[in-house]
Amino acid sequence: MKIQNVKIDNKARVYWACRRGMRELDIVIMPFFEYEYETLSNDDKGLFMRLLKSDDPDLFNWLMNYGEPQDSELQRMIKLIQMRNKARGSLAM
């Protein structure tokens, strides 16, 4: 599936875009999607989709605090994912 063609209001397609080839990413991204996606503004939903276009190794490094994206908006989304997962008690955080 091409992520750039997924609309932010098509939750089933966003769900599949969240599925990654790396178990560690699924443990972080899927709970955020399941519990937080609906609470995001449309702009943040679009930003989340933009984040999902990133390569798995980059996502892993960013979400595990081994680096950060150059883009400040993507940095904000990474921090939001980490913060909300931690507040919820996600296993990954």
pLDDT tops 50 at residue 93: no
| pTM (predicted TM-score) | 0.86
For 10, 17, 36, 57, 60, the CA distances from 30, given in Å and listed in that order, are 16, 10, 10, 17, 13
Q: In the chain, how many domains are there?
A: 1
Question: What does the pLDDT read at residue 91?
Answer: 57
Tens of pLDDT, residue by residue over 17-38, are 899 889 999 999 999 999 999 9
pLDDT tops 60 at residue 2: no
What domain range includes position 79? Answer: 3-88
Percent of the chain having pLDDT more than 90?
71
CA separation for the pair 17, 11 (Å, rounded): 10
Do the domain assignments include residue 71? yes
Do the domain assignments include residue 93? no
- The arithmetic mean of pLDDT across residues 42-52, rounded, is 95
Look up the CATH number of the domain holding residue 51.
1.10.150.250
